[in-house]
Each structure stands twice: as C-alpha cells, then as structure tokens.
Amino acid sequence: MTKIKAGLKRLQFFWLAVLLLTVKTYILYKVAFTIPSENMLQEFLLLINPLSSAVLLLGIALLFKNRTRNIMVVVLAFIGTLVLYFNLLFYRFYADFLTWPVLMQTNNVQDLSGSVFELTNGWDALLFVDIALLVTLVVRHKVPVVPRLKREPAMIFSLAVLIFLGNLTLAQVERPQLLTRSFDRELLVKNIGMFNFHLYDAVLQSQSRAQRVLADSSDIVEVKNYTRANHKEPDEDMFGVAEGKNVFMISLESIQSFVIENDVYGEEVTPFLNELKDDSYYFENFYHQTEQGKTSDSEFLVNTSMFGRDSGAVFFTHAGNEYNATPEILGENGYHSSVMHANNSSFWNRDVMYDSLGYDEFYDVDSYEVTEENSVGWGLKDREFFEQSIPLLQEQPQPFYTTFITLTNHFPFELDEEDRMIEEYDSNSGTLNRFFPTVRYMDYAVEEFFNDIKEAGLYEDSIFVLYGDHYGISENHNRAMSQYLGKDEITPFDTTQLQRVPLFIHIPGHEGEIMDTVGGQIDLKPTIMNLLGLSTKNDIQFGSDLFSPERESYAVLRNGNFITEDHVFANNTCYEKETGEEAEIEACEELSPKAASDLEYSDQILYGDLLRFFEAENEGLAETDDENES
C-alpha cells in the first residue's frame, strides 16, 4: 500500500490530467452529445469508458524525462481536447462522430470554414479551462519534477488495457455483438468511448484497404448471382419512352420532402415544385441513403446503384476503383456526359472520381463567372448558376446526360436580403429558421431554369430528374422540428420518415402521377436506364426500376434501418407506418435479411474493387444469354 501511495504521489500531475480529461469527456457525452442512458449499466459505461483512453493517451508522456514529461502531459491533454472539440463541431451539424476518412479530407477545410464558424459557440472556451490550469501549474513550477520512472510506464499501460478490457466486457454484456455494428457510431461511442472508437475505426479502415489486395475474380460470382436473382423486369409501357432524349439530373441541395406542399406563416415554401408535381411522376416515399459523404454519396448512389460507405466518403477512399456507372454506360451508347457545379474541382475529390464514373466533362468554378455580388454562403447563387449553365449546355453534343449540383440551400443556409421571398420560421433553432427562405430561393431558381431551358429550345427533347441529395435538418434540431410539424416529440420513427427527399421525374408530354412505391436513390440508375431503353439485366446493381410492376416497395438506409410499404424498422424497433406506433418485431423480420445482404454485398464490391473483374464476367453472361436465345 505504501508503494502504491508513493507511486500515486510521484504521478499526481499525471492523474490530475487524467481526471480532468475523463470528467470533461463525460460531461460532453451528457450535455453536448446528449447520449442517453436507459439503465445504470449504460450510465456506468459512459462514466468509465473515457478513463482507459485517457490513461493510455496521457501515459505516453511517462516515456519522457524530467520536466519534459510534465510538458508532454499538457500537450497530450490538449490533443485529447482537440479530438473532443472537432467531434463536437461535426456533431452539431451531422449528429454524428468523425471517422478517419472524414479527417483525411483535408482539402475540403477551406471550403468548410464558413460552416465551421457557424457551428462554434462562446461556451466552447470552457473545454480548454483545464488545459489552462495544467499550463499554469507547469509554468509556475507547482508540479514536482520526478527525475526517473522505472516500472511506472509499463504499469500505467497495463492498467489502461485492463480498464479497456473490463469496459469492453461490460459493453458486450449490455450490447452483444457490439463491434459488428460499425455503422452505429453513437452506439460504439456510448459503449467503448470516443477515443477508443477512433482507434477501432482506424483498424476498420486498414482492414477495408486489405480487402482489395486479397480479392480475386471468383469473389464477384456470388454478388453477381445475388443481384441477377433480384433483377426486376421494367414496365413495358415505360421502357424506352425517353429513348435518345437529353437527361437533366438536378441535385436539390439539402431539401427534404416535408417542405413540399407546406408553408411558413401561410407562404408556400416550394410553389414551383408543388406545381411540377401535377405534370411529373412524383415519388412521395423516396429516401436519401447517404451517410457521411452527403452530396457525394448521393452522386455515387444515383450513378452506380451501390451504397456508399458507412463512414467517410467513397469519393475519397475508393476513387480509384472500377465502376459500371451511368455516365460510362451512356457514353458507350452515344451520350455526352457532364457535371455542372460551381465549386472547386478538387472539392470532395470530384476531379478524380468523375473520371472513374466515366463523365466526359466537368464544368467547375472556372467555367463560371463568380463574383462577390452573385455569391452567398458556399458560392455562386443558384439562379446565377443555372443562368450561366445555359450556354454550356448549348455547346454540348446531344443527347447529353448532365448533372447540376446546387449550392444555395446548404448549411448554414445564408441568403442575401434581396433574395428572401418568405419569412424565417420562429423557433429555438436558427438553422431550421433560415432553412425555409433558402429552400424557397432554390425553388425560384429551378423555376427560372425551366423557363430558360424552354427558351433555349432544349425542353421538348429532354427528361428531367430532380431529387433531394440528403437531409438539411439533423436530429440536433428535433425540438424545433417537432414545433414546426405540430408533434409532441420526434421519435426514431419520425427521424426515419424525415429522411424522405423529393423525387420528380418530369417527361414533357406525360401526365403527372403520384407514385407511392417506397424507393431510394439507389433505384435511380436502373429507372433512368430503362426509360432510355437500355436494359440493366446483366448489370450489378442493388436498386430496381421504380416503375417496374415487379419491384418490392422497399428502401434500406445506410445505417441498416429500412422502410417497406407498411412498416418502418428503426433503432431495432418495428413501427406501423400508418400510425407510427410500435409493432411486433416479426412484422419487420421478413425483409431484415435482404436489407443486411444488400449492404453486405455492396460493401464487398466496394472494398474489394470487384467491378475490375466485371467486364469479363459480363461478357460471359452475354454469351450465356445469346446461347439461351438460340
């Protein structure tokens, strides 16, 4: 006991720093990240899970000598605080935790600066009070300088491992198979802690990179058989109705379906889109399926009919893969493909990824005249963007497949006063309040774009696909959302339903129809291909034609939740879709294996880069089909 007391006294500055970092992390869990606890064991896990990582991180300082050791305790405590703070800023918008692929996206930092500033808070300075205390103690020589440590570093690291193993054992009791749920980052942080989660995430990223090296051509056979067995034949009346026509893909930034046919203080939020429903195929149960990659994830889903990663962004981590994407396929069938987006070409690694997807041309910020007067928030205003895109469209060979990525309705939803057409909403969330005027402005910009297209003579020979790319309002604004929607609270069922985004497929000359089939962004590739008269029977894809009479009314989200015609499965709970009330879990069990298989097989293709083997396999399929027809 005497030796233990002596050891504690020798390392009292180290233990003070461990205590401060542990307590600070726990307070953030409860106050900033609002991680709930359903029982005493969960609360205990929240309390102890920062301890092992704090001991391990600060224990590195014990490898140094004399006064340097104390300085390193402060440095490492500061690094730990920065990890907490960066996660806090990220969480305030995305309601999610950082992963290594996101942290590696350093070339996005400059473009994100405005959003980061919006997310900061004056109270954030309290996070660094303990660092100031530690610095003061060191500078004023209030910390004893221990000249030599013998067994202490090894004992400290052993203690950190023991605490972690105890933490993990209890966490596995509380949530069996915990480490298989890498997509549920809040669950992992809740049970093993934020710092340990980042270490675990690093291991996962290294494993995913190894999968490509170990993959071979035989790995694609099982996936091919799975996707082919799930192929749905197209609607005979819709197949080829847009053959040879131009395709306008309009990505509507951050819009969610709850704004359609809705208002703020009696003023319509989307008057043009409301009218567009009357002469378009409008899908009212269409879901975004993005994760941390947000807009880039939606581009990936729409063009490949594959899921993005459960963490990070495919545009960064797998830009060198082979893909069988819509732009490449259309290019082989006489189409010119392009993207128009008034942002830096390297933002989200688009300049590299677009080559992999097979786009012929990328009109980035250098293709537009961008000034301080015609810009707001993230860059060129949507009205200016669409207007300046018309000459670029006219110089393209036809038919073309062109994607337009809007910017104005992007967090933090900034708007010049002259562009404000409706009032802000009045709630406790400035983000939600500002959201409605920027959505209204985007609606106006799209309406003017349609007018410009008609004047340019491009309207009649084209089809238009307008879709929401991802949510705009995260779970951090549930209180304000419940106020706007007239609900007592936002439940997990409501959160899942709020992932619905608008989808309009506008074909000039076709009457409008409200489509109630459940679908997602992953279904757009086969839908568009069939409208253009191109078969997707032999393609490897995880979506199905939204018009197909054979399709299952179903969508799976990247986090494993899924939606059917009658039920919503969210947070391991089955809900009645019509009422939002909990249902027997058996009601959701039938499609649960398919949801898991879709995600698993898609990940196998992505991590193993299996589509590099697809061409040879596809040729074999074509030969088999020819033999069968003979």
Which of the residues are catalytic?
295
| Structure-token pair, residue 588 | 């959701």
| Structure-token pair, residue 56 | 């391990």
Find, among 209, 314, 263, 238, the residue nearest to 513 by Cα. 238
Q: Tell how far CA 627 is from the center of its chain.
A: 43
DSSP class per residue in 79-106:
HHHHHHHHHHHHHHHHSS---HHHHT-G
Three-class HEC string of 213-280? HHCCCCHHHHHHHHHHHCCCCCCCCCCCCCCCCEEEEEEECCCCHHHCCCEECCEECCHHHHHHHHHC
Helix, strand or coil, per DSSP, at residue 21: helix
DSSP class per residue in 177-227:
TGGG-TT-HHHHHHHH-HHHHHHHHHHHHHHHHHHHHH--TTHHHHHHHHH
Determine if the peptide bond prior to 397 is cis (ω within 30°).
no
Tell me if 80 sits within 8 A of 57, measured CB to CB.
yes
**Looking up tokens 């290294």, which residue turns up?**
206
Angle at the Cα of 552 from the Cα atoms of 278 and 556, rounded to 5 degrees: 90
Residues 459, 507: Cα–Cα separation, whole Å: 9
Tell me if 122 sits within 8 A of 80, measured CB to CB.
no
| Structure-token pair, residue 422 | 């409706």
Residues 362, 344: Cα–Cα separation, whole Å: 11
Beta strand spans in 518-609 (E) = 519-520, 554-556, 562-564, 567-570, 573-576
Q: Please state, as a whole number, how many other Cβ atoms lie within 10 Å of the Cβ of residue 147.
A: 9
Distances (CA, A) of 61 to 52, 64, 132, 268, 537: 15, 6, 18, 60, 60
Angle at the Cα of 559 from the Cα atoms of 556 and 563, rounded to 5 degrees: 30
Tell the burial category of 193 from Cβ atoms under 10 Å away from its Cβ (0-12, 13-18, 19+). Answer: buried
**Per-residue DSSP letter, 407:** -
Query: CA torsion sign, 462 to 301 to 363 to 259?
Result: positive
Tell me the angle at which helices 129-139 and 12-31 cross, rounded to the nearest 10 degrees: 170
Query: CA torsion sign, 477 to 295 to 409 to 275?
Result: negative
